[in-house]
Homo-oligomer: A and B are copies of this chain.
């Protein structure tokens, strides 16, 4: 799961590299994963062949196997990417000293930002989880649950501090909030009417204040 992540082998660097050689994208594990994420998001994991991925990269599928163990590993790497990008920032927000409402706002903003920024990977993350098996599937499930738990705790704190409506199950509220955000993978497109910040603001408005105007 976490062996060699090195992208370039020994015979890879040009003398004048390291600051000005971005013309052609060298085949690498990262490039494969990024391209595959896009294809998986658009066509589905099962419906995307290694030939497809190779073609998108201008390479034969055989070449992929030098950088990646097999198709499953590509999928695994996509999942790892999403979790890696998501977990730590949220943990920092959860641990920060802040009024609950602000914590929740930032957590939502963070989650929406990731959903927007890593849109294809996010789509794969929440659609293709069925294709994971063995201990890795377990690991992902656990970390996902831990991630959700952070939202839960924020809500619990808000309730305990008397800021949030009591009696509302924090688990369900969390499911609702994450549902709102994660559903973005079904409609959000970069360059649309609203950017991530605006979407996050609207979601926060709904979640905190509700649609109803005070009578």
A46 to B49, CA, bound (A): 12
**A82 beta carbon closer than 8 Å to chain B:** no
- Residues of B contacting A203 in the complex (Cβ-Cβ under 8 angstroms): 172, 176
CA distance A211 to B172 in the complex (A): 12
Among candidates B163, B173, B181, residue contacting A212 with C-beta atoms closer than 8 Å: B163
Total interface residues in chain A, CB < 8 Å: 50
Does A62 touch B at the CB level, under 8 Å? no
Chain copies in complex? 2
Q: In the complex, A172 Cα to B198 Cα: how many Å?
A: 10
A199 interface contact, C-beta 8 A: yes
Q: Given A44-B131, A173-B202, A176-B203: A214 and B214 within 8 A (CB)?
A: yes
Chain B residues in 8 Å Cβ range of A94: none
Q: Is A209 an interface position by the 8 A CB rule?
A: yes
Give Cα A104 to B206, complex, Å: 14
Does A126 sit within 8 A of B, measured CB to CB?
A: yes
Q: With a CB–CB cut-off of 8 A, which chain B residues contact A53?
A: none
